[in-house]
A and B are shown apart, each in its own frame.
Chain A
Amino acid sequence: GNSVTQMEGPVTLSEEAFLTINCTYTATGYPSLFWYVQYPGEGLQLLLKATKADDKGSNKGFEATYRKETTSFHLEKGSVQVSDSAVYFCALSGRGFQKLVFGTGTRLLVSP
């Protein structure tokens, strides 16, 4: 079945550091890929998405590229802020079915 694997956290960075959170997936066919962010005590918000190979999703300085050859969708940001501290979830959705499959989440802690 479909699955998502994320790097374990927490990821601890200083403000303005470069961020990478790894995400790889297993799926049949060509899924859509998503990154969601969860701030403390809140629900999830969609951060970015990509629906086909080589697509790049981007939002609020975050980027991720759908790499079919490596089945990856790594999240990157060039310069993190304290306000980026949150839990980040990678997810996929197979074609024709809206069920989202989530990774276990990666907690990011950014210090001033």
Chain B
Amino acid sequence: DGGITQSPKYLFRKEGQNVTLSCEQNLNHDAMYWYRQDPGQGLRLIYYSQIVNDFQKGDIAEGYSVSREKKESFPLTVTSAQKNPTAFYLCASSREWGSSYNEQFFGPGTRLTVL
């Protein structure tokens, strides 16, 4: 079945450590996204990628980095510069960039906790 996988489901990190969250899709989608979700808040966009080898900062990119070396993969690194990284992270994809008609498909999420 086609879909988006994220791993791990739960992740614990010590302060000062970088950590990488995995996101893989087999939907053949061009565009991919990373969101952060905090309790009682909506989703906030961290980074997005329209196509392979291209990515753009979203609304809250500070302290995060991404890469898009393959169409199906869009890993997110949470660096030690991110001041409050404990959150639920969601990866999404959509078929193509530039059309507001395309829905975004979401992965199951990774819950990151900084100890």
Contacts and interface: CB of A to CB of B under 8 A. Distances in A.
Is B one of A's binding partners?
A: yes
Contacts of A105: 40-42
Given A42-B109, A44-B106, A102 B100 contact: no
A46 B105 CA distance: 7
A102 to B, nearest CB: 4
Contacts of A98: 31, 48, 94, 97-100, 102, 104
Contacts of A93: 100
A58 interface: no
A28 to B, nearest CB: 12
Contact of A96 (B94, B98, B103, B109): B98
A48 to B, nearest CB: 10
A20 interface: no
Interface residues of B, number: 26
Interface residues of A, number: 26
Would you call the interface of chain B mostly helix, strand, loop, or mixed? loop
Interface in B1-44: 4, 6, 31, 40-43
Nearest to A102: B42
Interface in A47-101: 49, 51, 89, 93-100
B100 A97 contact: yes
Interface in B65-115: 90, 92, 94, 97-109
Contacts of B98: 96-98
A44 B93 CA distance: 12
Contacts of A45: 106
5 contacts: A43-B106, A93-B100, A96-B98, A99-B45, A100-B45
A51 B100 CA distance: 8
A3 to B, nearest CB: 10
